[in-house]
Every structure is written in C-alpha cells, then in structure tokens.
Amino acid sequence: MDNATIANVFDELAELLEFKGENPFRIRAYTQGAKAIRDLDESVADIVDDPDRKLSDLAGIGKTLAEKTETLLKTGKLPQLVKLREEVPEVLIQMARIPGLGAKKAAKLQKELDIDSLADLRAACVAGSVAKVKGFGAKTAEAILEGLAIAEQAAERIRWAEGDALARAIGRHMESCSHIETMQWAGSYRRGRETIGDLDLLVVASDRDAAMDHLESYADRSQTIGRGDTKISIRVGKAFQVDMRCVDANQFGAALQYFTGSQAHNVHTRRIAKDKGLKINEYGVFRVDDETQVAGETEEDVYAAIGLPWIAPELREDRNEFKWAQAGEIPELITLDDIRGDLHMHTTATDGQNTIREMADAAIERGLKYIAITDHSKRVSMAMGLNADRLREQWAMIDEIRPEYEGKLVILKGIECDILESGGMDLPDDVLAEADWVLASVHYGQRQPREQITERILGAIENEHVDCIAHPTGRLINRRPPYEVDMDAVMKAAAANGTLMELNANPARLDLNDVHLAAAKKLGIPIVISTDAHTVDGMDVMQYGIKQARRGGLTKADVANTMTYKQFEKLL
C-alpha cells in the first residue's frame, strides 16, 4: 500500500467523521496526517519497517495515526473506516462535493427529503422541494443544480495527477510479474487528459493467466468486475476501474495505438488507411485485398504503414496533428528538462510554508536558474496578503539574500497582485513599478457577469507594470468551473500588449487548458509554466504543467521560462 493510498484512507476517514459530527480537532488531525503522508519523499512502509525509526516522530503524524497506518500496512483495511462507510450513506459524500453545499446541509437535505442518489437531488431541486427546506431557498436550489454537473463528473473521473499516481503504483506492482514481457498504459491517461475515467494497461505476457492473477493480487483491488481469456477488469478502491488487455507481440503496437485513442484520431487514421487500400484495427494494419498484416508490432510501424511519422500521444485529438504530420512539421514538444525558471511561488510571508531561502535552495536542487517570489497582495486577507510596506520589506530582504546566490540562482522580486472586483490593481502603480515580475490574478468576484470579469482582466493586461496573467480562467478541476470570461478578447489583448499568460501547473488548476494554449501559441503569446508552489515540494508539480503544455502543442520556443535568464530579462 503506497503513501497516496494511505493518505486517501485518512482523508476519507476525516470526511466521514465530519458527517458524524466528531470533534473538529480530531478531524483536522486526520487531514493533516493525510497531507504529511502524501508529501513524504519516502515510503511510509519503509519507515515502519525500519527498527531505528518511528513514524510518530514525523511532523503531522501522531501516535494514533502511526498505529492506524501500521494496521493498514498489515491488514490492508481499517476497521473504523469500514464501520463508518456502513453508517454514512454514499450519496451524502457525493452531495457534500457539490460546490456550496457541504456536509451539514447535505445531511439535512438527505434526511428531510429522503434522497438516495444525485438523481433524486436533481429531481428535488427541479420540483421545488429543496427551496422549501428551511435554510435553503430558490437561489440555493439553483446553485445546487449548477454544481450537480461538476459533482456528477467528479464521481466518474479523477484528475490526471491522481491517475498518474495510481498508474505508477500499479505499474510497480506489475513489474514484479516475471511473465510480463512488455507493458504500456494507454487511453486518456497516456494522452494526458485533465481527467480520466479509467486506466487501460496493455501487456505482452508469456503466461496470460499468471499476469491476470498478478493484477488481481494488487493490494487496493476491491473487486474483479470481469475476467476472460485476454482481458481482466478490476475495481480499485471504492470505484475506479482498471482494465488490462493481453495481446500478442506482433499486435502490441497496433493495440497501443488503438486503445490510446482518441476516437476522433483513430477515425482519421482509418480514413487515411482506407485511401491506401489498408485497414487498421487493434490487431494490426492489413491489406484490404488479401488480409496480409503489414504492421502492428510497434506504433512507429503502424503510422509508417499509412505514410505518417509517429505522433506523440498528447497530440492525438484530431486537431492539428495530421496536418503537421503530412507536412513534416510535427512540433518537438516541450519536456521538463527544458524548464529553467519558476515564476510563481509563495512563502511564509503569506500562505506558503517555507522561507525565501528554503524555496531558493529547493529551486537549485531542481536545476532551476531563476525564480520569482510572488506572495499575495493585501486583498487576499485570508492569506495575510502583503500591503505596500510589507511587500517592500520582503523585497529588501531579497536584496540582502541575493549575494548568497550569485552565480547559482537569480531571485526576482515579484508579487501576485489581485485584480480588484471593481477593476484596477490591488497595489498602486508606483509599488508595482519597483517589482521585477508582476502576476495579475482574479481571486474574488468570480461570479460577476462575463463583460465585467473580461474588462477587469483587460485592464490588468493594459497596465504597463503587469507582466503576466496568472491562472487566467480561475477554474479548479472537478470542483469549480472557469469564471465567465471572453478568452478571445483576453488573448488578443495579451498579444497586442506583450503580456505573458500563465499555465498554472497545479494539478487542480492546469489553467490554461490545452485549447487555450494552442490559441496562445497561434497568436505568439509567450506562455509561462509555473508551479504556484506553497511549499518546497510544491515545485514538483511542474511535470503536470509540462504534460498540459504538450497537449497544447507547445515547444520549448513557446514557453518563456525555458529561456536563459538573460534572454528572459530581455523579453521583459
């Protein structure tokens, strides 16, 4: 059982205890413990197995949590959690994930209206029953209806980063099976979709039954949905489905291409094949006239058979990839190694957990050459946002620190400055003029009309001191939709004013999305891929931003923080 799985157990435990009305301090202990375990850079199991170490000595993990972790590692389950799952209806959990509803309101609705499913809740909203419940009303019922779409999607799909952690854990497990000769993940996970509905694993195995048995032995398997001669489907945890298909070696490339998708991409490849007297399916590429197989062992062979170079999985959405392929212009997509700077991070001055020096040292460890310290401005009062005096104090501190890092790292004096609800920036122009790097962002007033939010962002773009728009649509994947904004107008204004646009690499944001990134590339707007790190470990989310950038077709040349610092300084 890996760290992420253990952390998920404690998060679920905390969630269920909240429904039961337990002591909030106890609940917080579980959520903090879950975070501590998830953020560890070593295996919890290794710590427990080490006689010279105690898990309870680690920050955020007390004696009780350590004991429950040992129980999980030994038995694979937690009796307390099993009991709570029986006591708290699953529909309550689903309802509580609806934006703006929460555990207490969800429990009240479920009890008073006898709701057994999200479909029941939708029907109750439409019928006016929710509006009649004391403490709710018509506006709340309307907000619940809007949030239901997000909750329903969240119940079916998980964020890519969560899928990546699960795929890696299952992959490590499957690597220990001696009968597997080749394996590769396919589907929307391989293409880097923001959310994924299941995982698809393809294997070539000398003993297919043994390979399937090995998958069934995965510690977090909760159910085997089905098993045949060539395919097995299991459920992991409470709901997530993992499919494994066993194929012959001469079919592996064709199966990988087919099951990676997307469907639209595959339809296009079949159309090209048909024009050449060929057909493509999951078993290979065949001549139509005599059924002779001409390719199938590798993806490169499959694409070559229809006259195309290999196409990176992230591009396979039937957008521009075939035009690029046929013209010999497939872009060389950006990689993590191309990144030289990180231009969005927070410190203990606001809501970060590490000091400037700690963030700088962590950046050096990751091979970066420059960073920007961008704590919040004063409007973000819940994060102790900086006013002009405190910001200038921080910048003076950076000036003092800089000589320590000369030749190793450039530290920019930055700020994440809020765009106010009424328009304009949260700090005066004379303060922003002193900054090396200014991010502008919307945190408040996200429900304003489209025209108003658009005007606010356009005003920031036109401010001569603003360098970049941070997380431009404000979305949180599966939790909060993007605010209403005219992105065409924003993009055109950014291009005209030389303002950069951020791709926020936080896996809950990935904002801009792949479509917007492609649009920015077309307009020649430099993209900055930033981590928005609030801890030193938060810098590691850069990989998710890179995945998203590749889906947008971005190359090293499209991303500003791949430049050397001198080149970047010249761009500014």
pLDDT digits (tens, 9 = 90+) for 523-555: 999 999 999 999 999 999 999 999 999 999 999
H/E element, 223: strand 221-227
How do residues 213-222 score in pLDDT, each as one tens digit? 999 999 989 8
Pairwise pLDDT comparison (277 vs 118), residue with the higher score? 277
469: helix, coil or strand?
Answer: strand
Q: What pLDDT, on the 0 to 100 scale, is given for residue 1?
A: 66
**Cα distance from N-terminal residue to C-terminal residue, the chain:** 47
Distance CA 500, CA 496 (A): 11
pLDDT at 59 over 80: no
Q: What pLDDT, on the 0 to 100 scale, is given for residue 154?
A: 55
When pLDDT is averaged across residues 266-276 and rounded to a whole number, the result is: 96
Distance CA 421, CA 380 (A): 12
Asked if residue 342 lies in contact with residue 531, where contact means CB atoms within 8 angstroms, the answer is yes
Q: Average pLDDT over the chain, rounded to whole?
A: 93
Residue for token digits 């098993």? 227
Confidence (pTM):
0.79
**Helices (H), ranges, 277-355:** 299-305, 321-326
Among 1, 11, 68, residue whose Cα is nearest residue 36: 11
Query: Considering only 87-96, 367-376, 427-436, which range has the smallest mean pLDDT?
Result: 87-96
Asked if residue 351 lies in contact with residue 383, where contact means CB atoms within 8 angstroms, the answer is yes
DSSP classification of residue 355: -
Q: What pLDDT, on the 0 to 100 scale, is given for residue 12?
A: 87
Percentage of the chain exceeding pLDDT 90: 72
**DSSP calls for 65-95:** HHHHHHHHHHHSS-HHHHHHHHHS-HHHHHH
- Tally Cβ neighbours within 10 Å of residue 361: 16
Q: What pLDDT, on the 0 to 100 scale, is given for residue 139?
A: 87
pLDDT at 186 over 70: yes
Query: Considering only 155-164, 188-197, 437-446, which range has the smallest mean pLDDT?
Result: 155-164
Distance CA 13, CA 23 (A): 13
Q: What pLDDT, on the 0 to 100 scale, is given for residue 45?
A: 86
Q: What pLDDT, on the 0 to 100 scale, is given for residue 152?
A: 67
Among 349, 119, 271, residue whose Cα is nearest residue 279: 271
| Domains contained in the chain, CATH given | 3-87 (1.10.150.110), 90-156 (1.10.150.20), 158-246 (3.30.460.10), 251-326 (3.30.210.10), 336-571 (3.20.20.140)
pLDDT at 41 over 70: no
How do residues 304-345 score in pLDDT, each as one tens digit? 999 999 999 999 999 889 999 999 999 999 999 999 999 999
Tokens of 128: 């006016």
DSSP classification of residue 348: T
Q: What pLDDT, on the 0 to 100 scale, is given for residue 26?
A: 87
- Tally Cβ neighbours within 10 Å of residue 280: 24
When pLDDT is averaged across residues 347-365 and rounded to a whole number, the result is: 97
- CA 315 → CA 49, 157, 523, distances in Å? 43, 21, 19
**DSSP calls for 327-341:** TT----B--GGG--E
Q: What pLDDT, on the 0 to 100 scale, is given for residue 95?
A: 85
| Helical packing angle, 24-39 and 63-75, nearest 10° | 60
When pLDDT is averaged across residues 505-510 and rounded to a whole number, the result is: 96
Q: What pLDDT, on the 0 to 100 scale, is given for residue 153?
A: 61
Q: What pLDDT, on the 0 to 100 scale, is given for residue 147?
A: 81
Pairwise pLDDT comparison (185 vs 11), residue with the higher score? 185
Winning range, highest mean pLDDT, from 67-81, 91-105, 120-134, 354-368:
354-368
Tokens of 310: 């290999």
CA atoms within 13 A on the CB side of 561: 34
Percentage of the chain exceeding pLDDT 70: 98
Q: What pLDDT, on the 0 to 100 scale, is given for residue 208?
A: 97
Beta bridge partners of 502: 528
How do residues 120-179 score in pLDDT, each as one tens digit? 999 999 999 999 998 898 888 888 888 887 666 656 788 999 999 999 999 999 999 999
pLDDT at 102 over 80: no
Query: Considering only 34-48, 260-274, 291-305, 448-462, which range has the smallest mean pLDDT?
Result: 34-48
